[in-house]
Structure 1
Amino acid sequence: MEPVPDHHADLWLARIFAAKAAEGQVIRRNIAWIDREVGRARFMAEVRRRRFHLLQTADQFIVVCHSGPVYMLF
């Protein structure tokens, strides 16, 4: 897969994390779409930089947009 241009990745990440859902809620995105738009490593680094939590289920990433504890109940 070709590397994503930095300016495109920067804009995409800014839009995703500027969304209302990024204010203490959750963001869900298809992993293939993330790979295509910014690259998985870049996305994961941004989630980590923000001290958010990242979950994977099937073909989806779920970002819990806060740095507090997260518990898997079942």
Structure 2
Amino acid sequence: MPDERDAYWFPAKRYGWGWGLPVAWQGWLVLALYFAAVVSAGIWLRPHVHPLMFYGSVGAVTMLLIVVCLLKGEPQGER
């Protein structure tokens, strides 16, 4: 019988709030896409030329990563 934890892409941290490194390939894909988006923002939206656009786009993809972690990560406080 599969464990319910097997369905999570990101485990909850043992101490504190947040998630650890991915435990499923889907989580690693999400993390790789996040880093690719941040690097792309640094290349295309030079922070010293377009600081608001750069930080806004990094903030947007970070919020998207947090939403994915909330949806597919282990709920906080279950450990």
Give the TM-score taking structure 1 as reference length.
0.32
Q: Would you tell me which structure has more helix in proportion to its own residues?
A: 2
TM-score between both structures, scaled by the size of structure 2: 0.31
Looking at both structures, which has the greater relative contact order when contacts are Cα pairs under 8 Å and sequence separation is at least 6?
Answer: 2
